[in-house]
């Protein structure tokens, strides 16, 4: 294939920092202006993206970041069991704590803004990820591929659905792409690289590990590659990697010491729980092949054949090998989630960009003539069909998952927040699986609230409150009512409401609001709506 020619003719051999390529050297002002235009476009799109995301995806989006930040700033909020065992670090929540502090100082901390502002902040990080993926692709394959890579990243449904959420995985993905851009070993031909480029790569990689220790999976692969191609291996290990890694670990450990009140080595505790003791299996396990057969194919969706074609045709095995390495390592763990492999999704979409660029200019070697696409006034039929196919499959999927599917928890908490401001809500009991809704960070009112606990027991096989409730809702609720502090409102899914309706009526509760949740079941029985009951026996 003609596309093979691009492998041997790359632009990374110039003796300049990795943040510059041939174009930026010859015309830095033009290149900077182009990158600024890309960033502003992405920023505008991601801000709209963040406002369109109105569904509930994973509890960690709220409970491991916003809830912690809310408690640090306002003095009330719930710390889950992970924080009591020192498994989580405070670096990520502190980003949102600073945001909350600013909102409070400006007297803008209304419940609605408190729910939207964190995702708007995350949209800035998401735009940075878009920009650096564009620059990374441009550096490796040229501007023609970079434009289609950006198209792929902006239109992929899962990126749209997840990138503006306040998950640690979302920030980890941003840091991963930025760091990969600076690594000399990830270029097809490393050549002579500025040492500052590699140091930047190490700093950002260390921060990614501080945000999420499992990010070390990516950097172990990259570090081995760097050792294989670098001519100054001793300098890399002893004068760069070791000092930078130690410095970041020391700073984040000191930060955790200040907040925890004692010395806590978060990466070590995280490793012990999730890898050495398989603690993550408490939340469910999947077969070893799940990421290969279900998880990643669903995330990349209809871009999959284009990405596979790009991997084969580009023959950039170092970069594509990273995808296989990460999926393979995570497949060894019993507990699996989509978000765990989010950092490699943009990389896979980069190869989709390569494939689409090849459809646009099939007779030109990619990477040589970066302005080749401008000579075509009309896209080839295959390209038009491909773009149409990708748009009609990904855009409806992205909108449905972001606006419709599982939006009940977000709507419920907005309702609770509004009613509490009006003095209608005195206390809330959540008879749902634990962490099924946002919490104080969404309500932003210091109400007495209670949810069913699901802290892992030291003794395997011991059922937590959430499990006991799901097994016997009526029996659990009856026992709970014997000594509860009577709530003014109860929130539950309709799947449990059917089993508890008589009990609720007998306790003088009546339905006051019902919110749509889902059209189809996920993990459990169909939970089509969330229902709010109010006590009427005052």
**Which of the residue ranges 19-33, 97-111, 169-183, 442-456 would you say has the lowest mean pLDDT?**
19-33
pLDDT at 508 over 80: yes
pLDDT at 300 over 50: yes
More confident residue, 358 or 3: 358
pLDDT at 275 over 80: no
Task: Give the integer Cα–Cα distance in Å for 313 and 322.
Answer: 17
**Predicted pLDDT of residue 140:** 95
Over residues 258-273, mean pLDDT: 92
Over residues 340-364, mean pLDDT: 94
Over residues 143-154, mean pLDDT: 97
User: Who contacts 54 (Cβ-Cβ below 8 Å, separation ≥6)?
Assistant: 402, 403, 407, 410, 411
Over residues 184-192, mean pLDDT: 68
Confidence tier at 525 by pLDDT (50, 70, 90): confident
Closest by CA to 338, choosing from 286, 403, 304, 291, is 291
Given CA atoms 151, 153, 157, 162 in this order, what sign does their dihedral have? negative
**Predicted pLDDT of residue 531:** 98
pLDDT at 361 over 90: no
- Rg value, the chain, Cα: 25
**Predicted pLDDT of residue 7:** 35
**Which of the residue ranges 139-153, 416-430, 451-465 would you say has the lowest mean pLDDT?**
451-465
**β-bridge partners, 532:** 491, 513
Tell me if 65 sits within 8 A of 80, measured CB to CB.
Answer: no
pLDDT at 485 over 70: yes
Tell me whether strands 509-516 and 529-535 are parallel, antiparallel or unpaired: antiparallel
Q: What is the mean pLDDT of the chain?
A: 90
**Predicted pLDDT of residue 443:** 97
Domain ranges across the chain? 32-364+379-404, 407-535
Confidence tier at 377 by pLDDT (50, 70, 90): low
- Other CB atoms within a 10 A radius of the CB of residue 432 amount to 24
**Predicted pLDDT of residue 347:** 98
**Which of the residue ranges 26-40, 62-76, 416-430 would you say has the lowest mean pLDDT?**
26-40
pLDDT at 192 over 80: no
Assigned token pair, 74:
């306002």
**Predicted pLDDT of residue 538:** 76
Residue that is written with structure tokens 């896979």 in the block? 348
Over residues 169-181, mean pLDDT: 98
């Amino acid at each position: 294939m003609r596309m093979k020619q691009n492998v041997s003719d790359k632009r990374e051999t110039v003796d300049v920092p990795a943040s510059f390529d041939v174009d930026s050297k010859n015309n830095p002002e033009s290149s900077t202006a182009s990158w600024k235009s890309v960033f502003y476009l992405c920023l505008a799109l991601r801000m709209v993206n963040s406002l369109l995301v109105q569904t509930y995806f994973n509890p960690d989006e709220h409970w491991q970041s916003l809830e912690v930040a809310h408690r640090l700033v306002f003095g009330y909020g719930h710390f889950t069991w992970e924080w009591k065992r020192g498994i989580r670090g405070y670096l990520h929540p502190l980003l949102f704590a600073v945001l909350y502090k600013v909102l409070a100082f400006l007297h803008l901390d209304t419940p609605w803004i408190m729910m939207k502002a964190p995702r708007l902040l995350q949209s800035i990080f998401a735009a940075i990820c878009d920009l650096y993926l564009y620059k990374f692709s441009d550096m490796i394959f040229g501007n023609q591929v970079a434009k289609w890579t950006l198209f792929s990243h902006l239109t992929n449904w899962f990126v749209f659905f997840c990138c503006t959420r306040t998950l640690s995985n979302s920030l980890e993905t941003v840091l991963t792409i930025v760091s990969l851009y600076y690594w000399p070993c990830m270029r097809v031909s490393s050549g002579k690289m500025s040492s500052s480029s590699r140091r930047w790569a190490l700093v950002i990689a260390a921060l990614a590990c501080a945000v999420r220790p499992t990010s070390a999976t990516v950097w172990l692969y990259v570090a081995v590659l760097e050792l294989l191609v670098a001519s100054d291996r001793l300098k890399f290990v002893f004068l760069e990697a070791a000092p930078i890694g130690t410095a970041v670990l020391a700073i984040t450990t000191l930060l955790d010491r200040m907040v925890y009140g004692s010395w806590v080595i978060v990466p070590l505790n995280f490793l012990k729980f999730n890898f050495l003791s398989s603690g993550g299996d408490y939340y469910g396990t999947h077969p070893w092949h799940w990421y290969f057969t279900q998880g990643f194919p669903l995330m990349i969706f209809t871009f999959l054949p284009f990405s596979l074609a790009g991997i084969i045709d580009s023959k950039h095995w170092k970069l594509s090998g990273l995808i296989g390495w990460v999926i393979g390592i995570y497949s060894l763990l019993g507990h699996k989630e989509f978000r765990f492999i989010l950092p490699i999704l943009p990389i896979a979409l980069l190869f989709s960009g390569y494939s689409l660029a090849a459809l646009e200019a099939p007779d030109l070697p990619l990477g040589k003539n970066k302005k080749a696409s401008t000579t075509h006034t009309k896209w080839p039929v295959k390209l038009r069909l491909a773009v149409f196919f990708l748009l009609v499959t990904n855009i409806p999927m992205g909108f449905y998952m972001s606006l419709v599917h599982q939006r009940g928890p977000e709507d419920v908490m907005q309702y609770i927040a509004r009613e509490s401001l009006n003095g209608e809500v005195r206390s809330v009991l959540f008879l749902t699986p634990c962490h099924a809704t946002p919490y104080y960070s969404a309500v932003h009112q210091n109400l007495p609230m209670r949810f069913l606990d699901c802290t892992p027991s030291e003794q395997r096989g011991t059922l937590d409150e959430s499990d006991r409730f799901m097994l016997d809702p009526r029996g659990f609720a009856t026992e709970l009512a014997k000594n509860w502090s009577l709530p003014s409102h109860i929130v539950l899914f309709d799947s449990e409401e059917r089993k508890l309706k008589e009990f609720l009526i007998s306790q003088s509760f009546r339905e006051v609001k019902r919110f749509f949740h889902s059209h189809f079941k996920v993990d459990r029985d169909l939970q089509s709506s969330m229902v709010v009951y109010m006590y009427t026996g005052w």
